Chain A
Amino acid sequence: ILNVEQSPQSLHVQEGDSTNFTCSFPSSNFYALHWYRWETAKSPEALFVMTLNGDEKKKGRISATLNTKEGYSYLYIKGSQPEDSATYLCARYTAGGTSYGKLTFGQGTILTVHP
């Protein structure tokens, strides 16, 4: 993996369904992995910042896990609601040289929750 990759690109679920999506990233020189939610007509907002292998974070019905050795993170939404509809972005935080602190984003997963 050379870049930050997210899958699937889009997802349609029914209200009440649980869902998950994946972020894959280069595992070398890992520093941190961010998840953001981007709702239409708003700016992206941070959900989680994850730094340690095995990290699990939770905020309400949303949780995330991190595997830095194999270079992936999962975002889970339990009991999806229409208000969860948004684009979910992950970003790899790079350390080293002139790129210290650079955030590189994946293309995002567009989630639509149907009532």
Chain B
Amino acid sequence: GAGVSQSPSNKVTEKGKDVELRCDPISGHTALYWYRQRLGQGLEFLIYFQGNSAPDKSGLPSDRFSAERTGESVSTLTIQRTQQEDSAVYLCASSLVERREAFFGQGTRLTVV
């Protein structure tokens, strides 16, 4: 079947605007992760969804960031009032639980100008 799909692949936005990033996980995967990589840095955990449990939001950098997931399907990551430091590649991954490997999407490259 299809892999993890993210859209858009690239997004350029003006400082102060809101953006919404989308992730379609692999069908049947109960776990969904959002990470970001800023220039020259490693993978930074943002948020984790597992089934119907409360999401682990401990990585969200500020209250401008929020994410939702409908059941075990699509997730959206919303960044309000974007700042230049939000520029990064945002990666989504999904996995079956029970220690299985995560499958990553191609990422959304966000540039805030």
Contacts and interface: CB of A to CB of B under 8 A. Distances in A.
A and B: bona fide binding partners:
yes
A20 to B, nearest CB: 19
Nearest to A35: B101
B91 A43 contact: yes
A100 B50 contact: yes
Contacts of B91: 43-44
A106 B42 contact: yes
Contacts of A108: 42-43
Interface residues of B, number: 26
Interface size class of A (residues with CB under 8 A): 20 to 34
Give the one of A46, A103, A107 with max B CB within 10 A: A103
A103 B102 contact: yes
A5 B22 CA distance: 30
Interface in B35-81: 35, 41-43, 45, 48, 50, 53-54, 56
Nearest to A47: B101
Contacts of A113: none
A100 B52 CA distance: 12
Interface string A89-115: 101010000111111111110000000
Contact of A101 (B50, B103, B106): B50
Interface of A: 31-32, 34, 36, 42-46, 49, 51, 89, 91, 93, 98-108
14 contacts: A32-B99, A43-B107, A46-B101, A91-B102, A99-B56, A100-B53, A100-B97, A101-B48, A103-B33, A103-B95, A105-B43, A105-B45, A107-B41, A108-B42
Interface of B: 4, 31, 33, 35, 41-43, 45, 48, 50, 53-54, 56, 91, 93, 95, 97, 99-107
Give the 3 A-B residue pairs with the shortest CB-CB distance, closest first: A107-B42, A46-B101, A43-B104
